[in-house]
Amino acid sequence: MSLKLPAVGLRHDWTLAEVQALLDQPFNDLLFAAQQIHRTHFDPNRVQVSQLLSIKTGACPEDCAYCGQSAQHQSTIEREQLLALDAVIKAAQEAQAAGATRFCMGAAWRNPTDHQLDQVIAMIAAVHGLGMETCVTLGMLTLDQAQRLKAAGLDYYNHNLDTSPEFYAQVITSRTYHERLETLEHIRAVGLKTCSGGILGLGESRTDRAALLHQLATLPAHPESVPINLLVQVEGTPLHGAAPLDPLEFVRTVAAARVLMPASYVRLSAGRSTMSDELQALCYLAGANSIFYGERLLTTDNATTDRDQALFERLGLGFEIVAPEGRDTPGGCFK
């Protein structure tokens, strides 16, 4: 199928057949198209840096087959209560000093209670006061809860679709795909920025990866941030021991996300600790322009800060400082 790609502008009317054809392009053609589109919308040598902190770990009632925080799996991840406010502020200050511009907080809940939301809102206010962008991932939200988070000054809400609608039930049964889309609808309705992507290497097919990207690219508004995760296999979870994904399939998916959602930040998320420098470099060439920085990503290992700095130096990449609206923050680079 011949696929005509737009040089500029956003589309929300992609067909699944078009997305599949995009992923099926010869590798060099796909990367060339992604790099051209990336340069239209972004500085190709700047990468936005976020840091992620688990503010409440384990004992989640969901049954996500990839997640060591599920109470239904036999992983070795220890359960922890919600962190104290002082501990969160200290972690945010350390992240900011290391160059992170966005601080993301994740809690292992299916959906927060109003009391739990009160506690998280205090954390959002404190981190926002440091001059950082804020993002949280707390599970499903009601419309009222989304409005409260917006009023508290939250910038982004993360809620991943994980995989295709067709493959979803093989990974998660405790929450429906529709419920995920409904939470994204609540986030958009109140004017919060959306962080939503998926996980690769769950055993899905390329058709499933196409369907995931189709879902994201045909939302009423593209997510401002699109995390592309590579499965980190956690002992004790059903997906431990799954066949690894072909690394070039990962790059293809990053490139396709860049083409389909030209103005979105495409973030290399979980799995970077196992990626070679060469694979990460290909991902940046394919249009990835955001990473999670720091040596822990919720409960799993991340690429070390020294390794990231060395790779950025070798590639001539600088980190992009993105200040919350109305505030100016200077840029910098890993030197």
Active site residues: 60, 64, 67, 104, 135, 195, 267
Place of tokens 């502008």: 9
Those residues with Cβ within 8 angstroms of residue 127's Cβ, 6 or more apart along the chain or in another chain: 88, 89, 92, 103, 105, 134
DSSP code of 135? E
Largest CA distance in the chain: 56
HSE, CB side, 13 Å, CA atoms: give it for residue 327: 12
Sign of CA dihedral 329, 104, 137, 55: negative
CA-wise closest residue to 329 among 56, 108, 99, 123: 99
Q: In whole angstroms, what is the distance from residue 174 CA to residue 110 CA?
A: 9
Residues 6+ apart with CB under 8 A from 75: 68, 69, 234, 235, 236, 237
Q: Kindly give, in sequence order, each residue whose CB lies less than 8 Å from that of residue 322, ignoring residues fewer than 6 positions away.
A: 48, 101, 102, 133, 329
Q: Distance between CA 146 and CA 189 in Å, rounded?
A: 9
191 CA to centre of own chain: 19
Q: Computed from CA positions of residues 53, 56, 58, 62, in that sequence, does the dihedral angle turn out positive or negative?
A: negative
